[in-house]
Chains A and B, each alone.
Chain A
Amino acid sequence: MFAEHLLSVCIWLPIVGGIVVLATGGDQNATAARYLGLIFTIATFIVTLLLYADFNPHTAAMQFVENRPWIDAFSIRYHLGIDGISVLLILLTSFCTVLVVIAGWSVIQKKVGQYLAAFLIMEGLMIGVFSALDAILFYVFWESTLIPMFVIIGLWGGPNRVYATIKFFLYTFLGSVLMLVAFIYLYYQADRTFDIATFHQVQLGENAQILIFLALLAAFAVKVPMWPVHTWLPDAHTEAPTGGSVILAAILLKMGAYGFLRFSLPIVPDASHQLAGFMIALSLIAVVYIGLVTLMQDDMKKLIAYSSIAHMGFVTLGFFIFNTQGIEGGIIQMISHGFISGALFLCVGVLYDRLHSREIKDYGGVANRMPVFASFMMLFALANTGLPGTSGFVGEFLVILGSYQVNVWYAVLAATTLVLGAAYTLWMYKRVIFGAVVKDSVAALEDVTPREILFLGLLAIAVLAMGLWPFPFLEVMHVSVDHLLEQVATKKVI
């Protein structure tokens, strides 16, 4: 009974948890809200671990399938299931949410219940996105995530939060509505069903494919975000509270990349091949140009936000070179970027909680006062530059390897990230952490608390484990990726 509904439990447990946390009322019960939030996120994490434990990596078929009618008139179904790609993203989601709850433990002091409820509901919705197998169900989860994120940035964000959150909402909403039109068009082409697996089979003409590809691209490119529709991200990241930035960078962006794998590549393979050059160009611009832009940032959060765009460029590059290394590298990069960017945002959060500034120039010599913190941040900074032995290396290496097989120049341009990434990350690290203590505010800093060690330590383990022994991750996704590659290689033009 329980096993059949495991995915539903993953989705609804945190949502119910969010409602329970909300019911604790105002801030006089903040502690109760915090413990409840922690219990629900940990419980969800355990359930997703069960999911992973029972997952069979030797089949490309959807697992843990639940399929029941929902809106019969339009054969919209409550259809859930996961494959080797989505199971990893679900794990990432539940893991990061636990960290966010711990990270906000003593930092968030106003409207604690609403804060935790927003993240819990968000978690359920994001798991829903990764497990929906019905296009409308997917769309409902996809768009619903905007509401809690809108509130998170707007209520607990920085000084310019209202502008950032409205921009975030409208930008991503505009991208998504065209995807809805594409889904409905596919519904009529696929003989009145919103089943994604049927979408994968449906034959489509060349022009239709290109239009559908572009409509889906509007949704996914904004979410990823790809150059040139990335401009909402630096604003949203900078103004969001630390927890919001972590979820945005670690998971929300991955929804866009996941969309390419679940929809664009298998549904319109011919258009994907035709427009691959265009997509690769956009990805390389993100890697190189945004890498240069990142160098120029004075605000630490903005710097990490731009670095996220550059790293996500790697993901989309890997997807559109259509070979195993590329796609697997892209997926590994997604997971690894979730850990690393989340960790870097948490590091900035640790500093921000103490000095209430994100400007690089307000720091300097932090290592003298916070040695433990400096070593943690060192690890994450190096992982961000793709140091072998950390998770950042695996994904980037595989993508470069994959693109080398297609075109040497792709690989050469992509490899500039190793230089640029090192430049902007380490330069920031040097300015913030090293040097003599000049400022009184820095001199008064105290090192990380056990709570901070807990979440930074968990992430450090994740980053190292994935870097030193990526085999379990690759093993889980391998069959699913091969299946996806078969689908992409199939011609669908009538």
Chain B
Amino acid sequence: MMPEIPSMWPALPEIYVCAMGCLILCVDLFVSKQARTVIYWLSQVALLGAAALTLSLLMTPAGMTFSGMFVHDSLSNVIKLATYLIVFFVFVYSRDYIRERGMFRGEYFVLGLFGVVGMMIMASASHFLTLYLGLELLALSLYAMVAFQRDSAQATEAAMKYFVLGAISSGILLYGMSILYGLTGTLDIADVRQAVARMEADDVVLIFSLVFVIVGIAFKLGAVPFHMWVPDVYHGAPTSVTLYIGTAPKIAGFALVMRLLVGGLEDLAVSWQDMLTILAVLSMAVGNVIAIAQTNIKRMLAYSSISHMGFFFLGVVNATPNGYSSALFYVLVYAVMSLGTFGMVILLSRSGFEAERLDDFKGLNQRSPWYAFLMLLLMFSMAGVPPTIGFYAKLLVIQSVIEVGMIWLAILAVLFAVIGVYYYIRVVKLMYFDDAEDNTPIGASLDMRVLIGVNGLVLLLAMPWVGTIIDVCGRAVAGIY
């Protein structure tokens, strides 16, 4: 009997990006060093094409393919579209940065694209194996990208740490999944859910496996106490790679949480709620407090990302669609803010100079009022001060914990947010109230200047459409039920 050929249509964007990655790898062999810009343009075309394919799939009904290992639903579509957009910006911001540092090689973009494929697969996984496949594809691409500046001791050290800890965390996640397999006899997420529903919710082995799954997720997202790699990797990696790590993978992390915890293990919500609450509180506390002590902006942003993951978990802990869509909104907003902030770090850097110290932002208002204003918006948005969109993100996750009556958690969250405000407004203080130490003009290509302007202003001007974005998040999350 002929095996049934699965429908390829739902996976078309993945197949396309994968094929483009291979094509670019081949093209790279034949182009001269001067003509290598074509690689960059091909990569951007790959992303745009993928966006077009995903958009054309928006209208088709949700469904599974590859024997139920791959799902196409509203959640996967939203996450994929956000990923293309973010990575598109990342490539624009990175282009001149990597060219000036001799990293403008085809592999850079190919790894970036394969990372995108990994995230897309994570978003569409409906099977533990698919999920793991996507996660590892992303992680392996990132390890190589961190080590891309192979002569830099700092970058190599960061890559080594990232690789070792990343491998351990993958192992832990895999171990959790294997226990689940032992208990339920299946790796299919929907089947696992049914099997778990038939079991006692306080089954010790089940909880045991859950702990491993949660630890794996916490490692990947960088939540306290599994955050140790975050500052070192953010700091050690070339800024363009930090930009990549600090943005799109966070959105993919949301997919990981949704597929594993909500799709597969929602019946254990009572147990994982407690665990995530602890992770959330610790992340908000440690991230916000330690960020104050940083003098390097990349490390500061690393700790800030840890605290943001804490806030993100607030949306998940209440285990309702309201909470999940709040978490999705939060993570999307965070990715945009993080994109802009690292973009500013890249913008201020130039050949032979990395604007890594906080002091490098001194007097930015004198050097360029426009960029200072954009950074001001980014910082206030990160801090969650209205009217920037960062406020609505915090509002949503906080209302979601109040909805389930955890007012103490909401109060803790807002208090940590106040602590966080301090180090963000310190950047504003440096830009506006101190005198510039160096007055080198800030140069950037036109597309970068335009995009970073859009990136900063959207935090303010998206205000009238916040409701629409929230609706999109709500519908995306509703799709997985």
Contacts of B182 in A (CB 8 A): none
Contacts of B470 in A (CB 8 A): 71, 73-74
* A150–B421 CA distance with the chains assembled, in angstroms: 13
Size of the B side of the interface (Cβ < 8 Å), in residues, is 35
Task: Produce 1/0 per residue, B208-220, CB < 8 A to A.
Answer: 0000000000000
Size of the A side of the interface (Cβ < 8 Å), in residues, is 36
B471 touches A140 (CB 8 A): no
A185 touches B433 (CB 8 A): no
Q: Which 10 A-B pairs have the closest CB atoms?
A: A177-B414, A71-B467, A140-B386, A143-B386, A73-B470, A154-B433, A184-B399, A184-B402, A174-B418, A144-B387
Distance between A270 CB and nearest chain B CB, rounded to angstroms:
20
A114 touches B369 (CB 8 A): yes
Residue of B nearest to A76 (CB): B467
With known contacts A140-B386, A143-B385, A184-B398, A162–B429 Cβ distance under 8 A: yes
Contacts of B88 in A (CB 8 A): none
A-B contact pairs, 16 of them (CB 8 A): A69-B467, A71-B392, A73-B470, A74-B396, A74-B399, A74-B470, A139-B386, A154-B429, A154-B432, A170-B418, A170-B421, A177-B417, A177-B418, A181-B398, A181-B402, A184-B395
Which B residues are within 8 Å of any A CB, using their own CB? 369, 376, 380, 385-387, 391-392, 395-396, 398-399, 402-403, 407, 410-411, 414-415, 417-418, 421-422, 425-426, 428-429, 432-433, 464, 466-467, 470-471, 474
Contacts of B385 in A (CB 8 A): 143-144, 146-147, 173
* A178–B391 CA distance with the chains assembled, in angstroms: 14
* A114–B372 CA distance with the chains assembled, in angstroms: 12
Contacts of A184 in B (CB 8 A): 395, 398-399, 402, 410
With known contacts A73-B467, A181-B398, A169–B415 Cβ distance under 8 A: no
Q: Is A191 in contact with chain B by the CB < 8 A criterion?
A: no
Distance between A424 CB and nearest chain B CB, rounded to angstroms:
32
* A177–B428 CA distance with the chains assembled, in angstroms: 21
Residue A173 contacts which of B392, B395, B421, B429 (CB distance < 8 angstroms)?
B421
Distance between A306 CB and nearest chain B CB, rounded to angstroms:
26
Q: Is A311 in contact with chain B by the CB < 8 A criterion?
A: no
B411 touches A71 (CB 8 A): no
* A147–B384 CA distance with the chains assembled, in angstroms: 12
Q: State which residues 146-194 of A face B: CB under 8 Å.
A: 146-147, 150-151, 154-155, 161-162, 165-166, 169-170, 173-174, 177-178, 180-181, 184-185, 187-188
Residue of B nearest to A75 (CB): B467
Max chain A Cβ within 10 angstroms of own Cβ: one of B380, B392, B425, B471: B425
Max chain A Cβ within 10 angstroms of own Cβ: one of B380, B466, B467: B467
A155 touches B467 (CB 8 A): no
A70 touches B428 (CB 8 A): no
A178 touches B425 (CB 8 A): no
Contacts of A169 in B (CB 8 A): 421, 425
With known contacts A69-B467, A140-B387, A185–B407 Cβ distance under 8 A: yes
Contacts of B415 in A (CB 8 A): 174, 177
B399 touches A187 (CB 8 A): yes
Contacts of A170 in B (CB 8 A): 418, 421-422, 425
Distance between B374 CB and nearest chain A CB, rounded to angstroms:
13
Max chain A Cβ within 10 angstroms of own Cβ: one of B386, B391, B425, B467: B386
* A161–B432 CA distance with the chains assembled, in angstroms: 12
Residue A143 contacts which of B391, B428, B467 (CB distance < 8 angstroms)?
B391
B380 touches A180 (CB 8 A): no
Q: Is A204 in contact with chain B by the CB < 8 A criterion?
A: no
Name 16 extra pairs, CB < 8 A, besides A70-B466, A181-B402, A188-B402. Answer: A71-B466, A72-B467, A73-B474, A76-B467, A140-B387, A140-B391, A141-B386, A143-B385, A143-B386, A154-B433, A161-B433, A170-B422, A173-B421, A177-B414, A184-B402, A184-B410
With known contacts A147-B380, A169-B421, A155–B395 Cβ distance under 8 A: no
Contacts of A188 in B (CB 8 A): 402-403
Residue A180 contacts which of B387, B395, B403 (CB distance < 8 angstroms)?
B395
Contacts of A114 in B (CB 8 A): 369
Contacts of B471 in A (CB 8 A): 72-73
Residue A150 contacts which of B391, B414, B428 (CB distance < 8 angstroms)?
B428
* A70–B398 CA distance with the chains assembled, in angstroms: 19
Q: Is A136 in contact with chain B by the CB < 8 A criterion?
A: yes
Contacts of A73 in B (CB 8 A): 467, 470-471, 474
B432 touches A155 (CB 8 A): yes
* A177–B418 CA distance with the chains assembled, in angstroms: 8
Distance between A174 CB and nearest chain B CB, rounded to angstroms:
5
Contacts of A72 in B (CB 8 A): 467, 471
Task: Produce 1/0 per residue, A52-70, CB < 8 A to B.
Answer: 0000000000000000011
Q: State which residues 183-233 of A face B: CB under 8 Å.
A: 184-185, 187-188
Contacts of A140 in B (CB 8 A): 386-387, 391
Q: State which residues 265-311 of A face B: CB under 8 Å.
A: none
* A180–B474 CA distance with the chains assembled, in angstroms: 23
* A136–B399 CA distance with the chains assembled, in angstroms: 12
* A30–B403 CA distance with the chains assembled, in angstroms: 51
Distance between A95 CB and nearest chain B CB, rounded to angstroms:
25
A180 touches B414 (CB 8 A): yes
Residue of B nearest to A70 (CB): B467
With known contacts A136-B395, A188-B402, A181–B410 Cβ distance under 8 A: yes
A180 touches B398 (CB 8 A): yes
* A140–B466 CA distance with the chains assembled, in angstroms: 13
Contacts of B418 in A (CB 8 A): 170, 173-174, 177
A155 touches B433 (CB 8 A): yes
* A328–B197 CA distance with the chains assembled, in angstroms: 63
Residue of B nearest to A153 (CB): B433
B421 touches A162 (CB 8 A): no
Contacts of B380 in A (CB 8 A): 147
Contacts of A69 in B (CB 8 A): 467
Contacts of B417 in A (CB 8 A): 177
Contacts of A151 in B (CB 8 A): 428, 432
